[in-house]
Each structure stands twice: as C-alpha cells, then as structure tokens.
Structure 1
Amino acid sequence: MAQVTVTIDGKAYRMACDEGQEEHLFNLAQRFDRYVGHLKDSFGEIGDQRITVMAGIMVMDELVELQRRMQALETEIGALRKTRDEALLKVDENDVTLSSTLAELTERIEAVASKLASS
C-alpha cells in the first residue's frame, strides 16, 4: 500500500492508497480542499467539522447531478440506438423489395426483347 500526505484546510492527512494511485488521491484531495476553501470564503470560520460536512454535501450534490445527466444521456443513447436499428431494418426491407422489383423488371425486359427478336 502506498501512502500519500494530502492537505485539506491547511491540515495534513496521511492516507493509504493502492500503488500507482498516489497522484489521483492527491488530485482528489486538492479538489475537495477547493470546496472547503470556497465555503470558508463564503461563510467564514464556522467550525472544521461543519465546513467538512458542507463540502461533502456539495460534492454529493455534484455527483447526483452528474448521475442524473448520465442517466438522461443513457436514455437518449438507447432511443437513438432503437431508431437506428429500426431504420436499418427498414433499409433491409426496402433492399429486398427493390431487388424483387428489379428482378421482375428484368424478366419483363427480357420477355419484350425476346418477342422483338422473334419478329
């Protein structure tokens, strides 16, 4: 297990993480520290625990909004895939109809050509 020391609200916290995840954990801590800093700038010193809880709630609010948007996009993708599949099916049906019609026309043209050749 790797260990990283992150700083949030001016306080150092030593944390464990999987090998290779140190930079990721450090970046997450920096982002969370920005939330804490934003709240402190907005509300002043209202207590470390309260600021941390408020920052956590802000992060969760952002996460829920992103999950909602992702669900909407997944729904839209599903509808687009269904529309695409229906269009491809229609194209296949049209190809069969067109091929059949061309075959019939070819037979008629050959019959007319045969009659003209016999005359």
Structure 2
Amino acid sequence: MASVELEIAARKYAIACRDGEEEHLRSVAAIVHRKAREAETALGSLGESRQLLFASLLLADELKEIRAGKAPAPESFAEPDPAVAEALERLAERIEKLAETLETRASNA
C-alpha cells in the first residue's frame, strides 16, 4: 500500500492508495484543487468545508453535463471512470450534509 501527500485548498492530506496508483491520485487531486480555487475565486473567502463542498458540486455538475452530452469533455475527463464519477457524487452529498451540520451547530451556539 502506497501513501501520497496531496495539497487541496491549502491543506495537506496523506492518502493511502494501491501501489502504482500514486500518479493517478495526484492528477485527480489536482482537478479537485483547481475546482476548490475556482470556487474560492468565484465566491470569495470560504471556510475549508464550504470550499470543498462547492468544489465537489462543481465537479459533480461537470460530470452530470458530460454524462448528459451537454458539454464537451475536458481533456482531463476525456474518458471518465464511472467509479470515480460515482465517488465524486457521493463525496459531494457527504460534504453537503457536513456543511449543513456545521451550519446548524454554528446557529445553535
């Protein structure tokens, strides 16, 4: 089992992956990082969870449009892996639930 250190939205993460998948993981992390920066640029200063939420939503939206044939696939998604797409969609849902929980806790504090 290999380990890769990734930086997404100014935070470092140590992620385990199968041997030989390090470069693939780095490349998909770079996509998430770019989307997180895109969200921050568009919406201004965001907390980490909100920034990752919007990055995930941007990615899920892009994947949905590609699947529906409404947008040309960017080079990095020329042949999307269905497992990656499903994982990103699940991640977007989980992050959205986390953001809602954090907002509820903040308003109750």
Alignment TM-score > 0.5, same fold: yes
Name the structure where helix makes up a greater proportion of residues.
Answer: 1
Point out which structure has higher relative CO (alpha carbons under 8 A, 6+ apart).
2
Which residue matches 1:15? 15
Superposition TM-score, scaled by structure 1 size: 0.55
Tell me which structure has the larger Cα radius of gyration: 1
What SS does the aligned partner of 1:4 have?
strand
What is the rounded CA distance, in whole Å, between the counterparts of 1:31 and 1:46 in structure 2? 18
The runs of 4+ residues in structure 1 deviating greater than 3 Å are none
Listed as ranges, the gaps of 5+ residues in structure 2 are 71-109
Q: Residue 46 of structure 1: CA displacement?
A: 2.2
Q: Residue 63 of structure 1: CA displacement?
A: 0.9
Aligned-residue CA RMSD (Å): 1.4
- Equivalences for residues 1-119 of structure 1 within 5 A: 1-69=1-69
What is the rounded CA distance, in whole Å, between the counterparts of 1:30 and 1:56 in structure 2? 13
What is the rounded CA distance, in whole Å, between the counterparts of 1:46 and 1:22 in structure 2? 29
